[in-house]
Amino acid sequence: MKTLLAIATMATLLSMTVSVTSVTAGGFPNRVHYIDQDKTTAAMYKGGRVIEDAGLIVIANRAVQRGAEMHAKTNHVFIIVDGEAEFVTGGTLIEPRETAPGQIRAKGIEGGVSHRLVKGVVITIPANTPHWWKDTSKTGSVGYYAVNYED
């Protein structure tokens, strides 16, 4: 019985190792990127890409209230560094229209979950999830880094 348990445990660990290895090696950039403070500060000031490599895109940006969107293949991690916003995820897009392959824009969202985004908050948005910068009126805009990864 102990032998069967040991074999089952080893098989489970081996399958987990194979899964982790394939995910790690599955398209993420295989080199180190170091972006200095001057470049990230400049990118945050005017908005722009800081890194673009093998499906990974890091953007420094300022958001203002605008329409909703949804991306077929892009997963987001937003790291809020300045400002405040009401941000909505999920729900149903209002009057959606495709602006590019896999890119949907809309007037807003019905339903969904509202999140208060302030400095220090991190929020993830999986691909195919409607999201909307609904209100930035308290501070005018929100400074954030978007770490985007394409499936």
Question: How does pLDDT run across 112-122, given as a tens digit for each residue?
Answer: 999 999 999 99
For residue 69, the 8-state DSSP code is E
Element (H, E) at 27: none
- Average pLDDT of span 54-74: 94
Nearest to 90 by CA among 50, 53, 134, 49: 134
Lowest-pLDDT choice from 42-51, 79-88, 115-124, 136-145: 42-51
Q: What is the pTM of this model?
A: 0.79
Q: What is the pLDDT of residue 26?
A: 57
CATH architecture assignment, domain 31-150: Sandwich (2.60)
To the nearest whole percent, how much of the chain has pLDDT over 90? Answer: 74
Nearest to 80 by CA among 126, 125, 33: 125
